[in-house]
Amino acid sequence: YQDMTVWEYLNFIYELKKAKTASRTKHLETVCGMVKIGHVKDRLISNLSKGYKQRVGIAQALIGNPEVLILDEPTVGLDPNQIIEIRSLIKSLSRSHTVILSTHILSEVQSVCDRVIIINQGVIVADDTERNLSEKLSKDKRYTLRVKAPQTDVLTALSRLERVDSVRPHGQKEEGVYEFLLQPKENQDIREDVFELLRERDWPMLEFKHNAMNLEDIFIRLTDPAVAQSISKANRKEEEQSASKEKRKSRRFFGPKEEKEEESK
């Protein structure tokens, strides 16, 4: 509808949806305010930038106050500044609506979404927060440590910690500051031991972080054919177990005789 003004288009959508609000004008003005297009409402849609056209599209989705908004690749074709603006808008809308965002841009998911659903060949292979998925899929926990102290001394001291399986130097990052990669023994938490060691030696710790899987790593792993097949089998097994439990409940409720009569019907 490139030949319509923004206001004409929103009025048209209002009629198509048969929206019911106390005041059409007030409702449309509220929607325009939410997506910040009030100052361009009298302009032709064809004369708007790509970013503002996206805003108009989101505005029409908001007409009628739906509980759920479904946005498909909302930042495709936008410049960096427009992408930031649209992502900020989506986050603000999530305070009052459930927003389902469909996208292949993983950085967008990380910056906007509270929950991640990954679908591979029609099968849901993940449904959780990014943090939980990272923890579940990380086979082991590795840590990166940066310390301002002599490299050899730190390496020796860390290697002697009981819960540490291995320590690997990772080079000098700035003058007097060295980085190390630490691998804990299985099911061991080394954080307190490392903190205590550095405190005793009076070695300044500049960074200590868990090297968790990022969303790209998670996506690649979960869409791997072998992993997808394993998940599909696990889902089928879970469905079978659930069906079996329901059948046992039915037996307890009806009794063997009643259950046979019910099945014969």
What value does the mean pLDDT take over residues 100-126? 90
Q: What is the pLDDT of residue 53?
A: 94
Task: Check residue 152 and give its pLDDT.
Answer: 94
16-60 per-position pLDDT tens digit: 999 999 999 999 999 999 999 999 999 999 999 999 999 999 999
Query: What does the mean pLDDT of the chain come to?
Result: 86
At 141 the pLDDT is: 75
Q: pTM of the prediction?
A: 0.61
What domains does the chain contain, in order, with CATH numbers?
6-114 (3.40.50.300), 139-210 (3.30.70.260)
**Is a pLDDT exceeding 70 seen at residue 148?**
yes
pLDDT reported for residue 13: 96
Band of residue 223 on the pLDDT scale cut at 50, 70, 90: confident
Is the pLDDT at 233 greater than 60? The verdict is: yes
- DSSP characters for the chain? -TTSBHHHHHHHHHHHHT---S-HHHHHHHHHHHHT-GGGTTSBGGGS-HHHHHHHHHHHHHTT--SEEEEESTTTT--HHHHHHHHHHHHHHTTTSEEEEE-S-HHHHHHH-SSEEEEETTEEEEEE-HHHHHHHH-SS--EEEEEES-HHHHHHHHHT-TTEEEEEEEEEEETTEEEEEEEEPTT---HHHHHHHHHHHTPPEEEEEE----HHHHHHHHTSHHHHHHHHHHHHHHHHHHHHHHHHHHHHHH-HHHHHHHHH-
| pLDDT range class, residue 239, cuts 50, 70, 90 | low
